[in-house]
């Protein structure tokens, strides 16, 4: 399969699991088209044309020929300079324990695939946060209120990301001539959809049952062994779970002030990847339960679900790395 086909399928599968409906996604495309039509000069030249067909600013082909055939993919959660050098080292030595034969009879990695974004996908991470308003709307928060809260938070994230050296890893990929891609929100959409449906179907009564059902999922069981698995952060295990809100997509943590709104809307338990100390201070007085599933384990689950969908089209040799463990379903 060509690199551009992997990219297109990832975007397509992400849209299928998106909390927004088709008209809302079309609205995001129309917004990008209007911005492009209004742009001039340097802004027009710098406009990211991918925004016209991909609603996820944090998912991009970062480097490489889109028409390159891909057979072996090195997949990880954070793939940066060290991992790119490792992939290049594998290709130099042919020391991979499995995979197709490359040039001169040696094994070859064709693509380094990251979950967390790099380059322009990292710089514009805040662009994907808008879909959180649609998630909140499903749980009773009016869309306009959700959008207002998200706009404020997206501004914070944009200012936080602005000083970073976004293209450091991509420059390494270019110098090594190593194809490089990241898939962020499409994978997060998969884990959010998977867990929300699981909890909705299970109709759990106690908070302890929420943590226990997570621990039975292979990626979270693995995280538990590594000291970063599911845990109840706020709440008594015997307390009623109530309505469960899975908060695992939309780029990064949402607005701090949203917890009061969720509590008023009847949400009893939030299941998330992680919770910053600042967010913790806001939520602890809202009489809601918080279950932290585990950041890397959740990312691994999302990537596994997406790879399962991808491999329905074509099988790949997957080389796990950087916190990722391949689990097929």
| Angstrom distance (rounded) from CA 301 to CA 17 | 14
Of 38-47, 118-127, 132-141, 205-214, least confident by mean pLDDT is 132-141
Average pLDDT rounded to a whole number, residues 109-120 = 97
In terms of Cα–Cα distance, which of 223, 230, 216, 213 is closest to 290? Answer: 230
Its pTM stands at: 0.93
Average pLDDT rounded to a whole number, residues 28-41 = 94
| Angstrom distance (rounded) from CA 222 to CA 220 | 5
> Are 284 and 277 a contacting pair, CB within 8 Å?
no
pLDDT of residue 103: 52
Tell me the pLDDT of the chain averaged across its residues: 93
Query: Is 167's pLDDT higher than 90?
Result: yes
Cα of first residue to Cα of last residue in the chain, in angstroms, is 21
Residue ranges of domains in the chain, CATH in brackets = 3-185+300-321 (no CATH), 191-295 (3.40.1390.30)
Query: Quick one: pLDDT band at residue 97, thresholds 50, 70, 90?
Result: low
């Amino acid at each position: 399969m060509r690199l551009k086909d992997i990219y297109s399928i990832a975007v397509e599968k992400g849209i299928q699991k998106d909390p927004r409906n088709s008209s809302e996604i079309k609205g995001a495309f129309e917004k990008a088209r209007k911005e492009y039509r209004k742009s001039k000069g340097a802004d027009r030249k710098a406009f990211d044309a991918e925004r016209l067909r991909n609603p996820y600013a944090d998912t991009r082909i970062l480097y490489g020929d889109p028409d390159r055939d891909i057979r072996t993919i090195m997949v990880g959660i954070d793939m940066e300079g060290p991992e790119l050098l490792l992939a290049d080292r594998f290709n130099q030595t042919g020391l991979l324990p499995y995979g197709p034969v490359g040039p001169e009879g040696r094994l070859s990695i064709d693509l380094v695939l990251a979950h967390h974004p790099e380059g322009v996908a990292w710089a514009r991470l805040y662009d994907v946060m808008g879909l959180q308003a649609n998630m909140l709307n499903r749980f009773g928060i009016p869309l306009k209120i959700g959008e207002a809260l998200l706009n404020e938070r997206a501004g914070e994230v944009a200012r936080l990301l602005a000083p970073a050296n976004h293209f450091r890893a991509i420059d390494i990929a270019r110098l090594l001539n190593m194809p490089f891609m990241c898939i962020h929100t499409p994978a997060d959409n998969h884990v959010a959809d998977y867990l929300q449906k699981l909890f909705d179907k299970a109709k759990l009564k106690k908070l302890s049952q929420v943590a226990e059902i997570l621990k039975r999922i292979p990626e979270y069981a693995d995280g538990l062994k590594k000291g970063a698995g599911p845990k109840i952060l706020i709440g008594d295990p015997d307390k009623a779970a109530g309505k469960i809100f899975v908060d695992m997509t939309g780029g990064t943590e949402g607005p701090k002030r949203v917890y009061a709104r969720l509590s008023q809307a009847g949400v009893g338990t939030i299941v998330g990847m992680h919770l910053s100390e600042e967010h913790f201070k806001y939520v602890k007085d809202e009489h809601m339960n918080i279950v932290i599933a585990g950041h890397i384990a959740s990312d691994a689950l999302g990537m596994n679900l997406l790879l399962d969908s991808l491999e329905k089209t074509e099988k790949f040799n997957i080389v796990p790395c950087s916190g990722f463990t391949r689990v097929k379903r």
